[in-house]
């Protein structure tokens, strides 16, 4: 039996989102995505470990003039089904199902944190043709690399708060730099994330090495990271540059791991600059993979 829940007030948030719900099957799983529409290049957005699709609305609605964002409720989160397992290969297969199911031609991928890892594996698998890949602060923890900075116990504590009922003020104790609306959405939507999905993904942060995949991510690719991030340290960024020299690395000042939430203006400006290279009239060729 699923341990996930969504309140009526959380579902009502969807009325304020300028996107349509789309549904795709990945095997037996039903996956939900928010499709912002338009005629632009498709941009498949993959959120982080405890971030349903709606949490990325404040980012995606700022780039609809450049692209057509489609934000996935990753399996075990939001309105998507629970999964039987939660490996990076499982997640990547889901992304491929979305690309095929929605008939997205040469989309861009944008992933934050867990989503960045998923985007990297999807790009490296080369099962669907992509225009480019943007990774935002991917966890660089892994075997012999030390633990992920946020403990599983910390995630579980926040999930417990959400299930008993929390509010933006309590969320602000953990995420004081976030905009108020994002604290409110976090309070209402975190309970839609499954404990098993979080635990399995967190374990993957320490057993699946990002650098096993990153060198195989084809160009064009961009890696955005927070200047103050404990997840992508300066040493990690330097290693990423050496491991995939064709990729472009961009440091976002005054941002930790939650890059868009910590410095919305700087992060959005960097995102728009990256996207502008790959939309019609750009200078970068489509990657056929």
How high is the pLDDT of residue 279? 87
Given strand 248-252, what is the order of strands in its sheet?
A: 20-26, 29-35, 67-73, 41-46, 108-112, 132-136, 221-226, 248-252
Contact by Cβ (8 Å): 252, 261 = no
| Cα–Cα distance for residue pair 112/17, rounded to 1 Å | 20
Give 29's DSSP letter: E
Question: Structure tokens of 69?
Answer: 């964002």
| Cα–Cα distance for residue pair 191/205, rounded to 1 Å | 21
Alpha helices in 191-277 (DSSP H): 195-207, 210-213, 234-243, 259-262, 264-276
How high is the pLDDT of residue 281? 61
How high is the pLDDT of residue 280? 73
Question: Structure tokens of 65?
Answer: 């003039």
How high is the pLDDT of residue 2? 72
Q: Which of 9, 127, 32 shows the shortest CA–CA distance to 82?
A: 32
Q: Which of 26, 54, 31 shows the shortest CA–CA distance to 184?
A: 54
Q: Which of 224, 225, 236 shows the shortest CA–CA distance to 146?
A: 236
Say how many CA atoms lie within 13 Å of 122 toward its Cβ: 34
How high is the pLDDT of residue 276? 94
How high is the pLDDT of residue 128? 98
Q: What is the CB neighbour count within 10 angstroms for residue 216?
A: 14
Q: Which of 14, 4, 1 shows the shortest CA–CA distance to 185?
A: 14
Decide: residue 229, CB within 10 A, 0-12 exposed, 13-18 middle, 19+ buried. Answer: buried
Domains present along the chain, CATH in parentheses? 13-145+208-276 (3.40.50.1820)
Question: Structure tokens of 99?
Answer: 């690309």
Question: Structure tokens of 167?
Answer: 């509010």
Q: Across the 289 residues of the chain, what is the mean pLDDT of every consecutive 10-residue run?
A: 85 96 98 96 98 98 97 98 96 98 97 98 98 97 91 96 94 93 97 97 96 96 98 97 98 97 96 92 42
pTM, 2 dp: 0.95
How high is the pLDDT of residue 3? 83
């Amino acid at each position: 039996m699923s341990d996930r829940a969504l309140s009526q007030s959380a579902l009502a948030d969807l009325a304020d989102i300028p996107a349509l719900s789309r549904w795709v099957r990945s095997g037996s799983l039903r996956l939900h995505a928010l499709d912002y529409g338009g005629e632009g290049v498709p941009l498949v957005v993959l959120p982080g470990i405890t971030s349903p699709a709606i949490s990325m609305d404040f980012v995606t609605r700022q780039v609809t003039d450049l692209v057509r964002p489609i934000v996935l409720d990753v399996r075990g989160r939001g309105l998507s089904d629970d999964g039987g397992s939660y490996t990076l290969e499982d997640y990547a297969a889901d992304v491929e199902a979305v690309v095929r199911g929605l008939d997205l031609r040469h989309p861009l991928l944008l992933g934050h944190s867990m989503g960045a890892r998923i985007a990297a594996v999807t790009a490296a698998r080369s099962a669907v043709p992509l225009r480019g890949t943007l990774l935002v602060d991917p966890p660089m923890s892994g075997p012999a690399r030390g633990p992920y900075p946020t403990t599983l116990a910390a995630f579980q504590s926040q999930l417990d708060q959400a299930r008993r009922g929390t509010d933006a003020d309590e969320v602000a104790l953990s995420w004081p730099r976030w905009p108020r609306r994002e604290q409110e959405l976090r309070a209402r939507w975190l309970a839609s994330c499954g404990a098993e999905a979080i635990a399995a993904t967190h374990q993957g942060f320490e057993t699946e090495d990002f650098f096993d995949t990153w060198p195989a991510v084809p160009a064009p690719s961009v890696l955005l990271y927070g200047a103050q991030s404990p997840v992508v340290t300066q040493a990690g960024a330097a290693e990423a540059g050496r491991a995939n020299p064709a990729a472009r690395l961009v440091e976002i000042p005054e941002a930790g791991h939650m890059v868009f939430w910590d410095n919305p203006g700087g992060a959005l400006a960097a995102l728009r600059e990256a996207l502008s290279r790959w939309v019609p009239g750009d200078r970068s060729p489509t990657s056929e993979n």
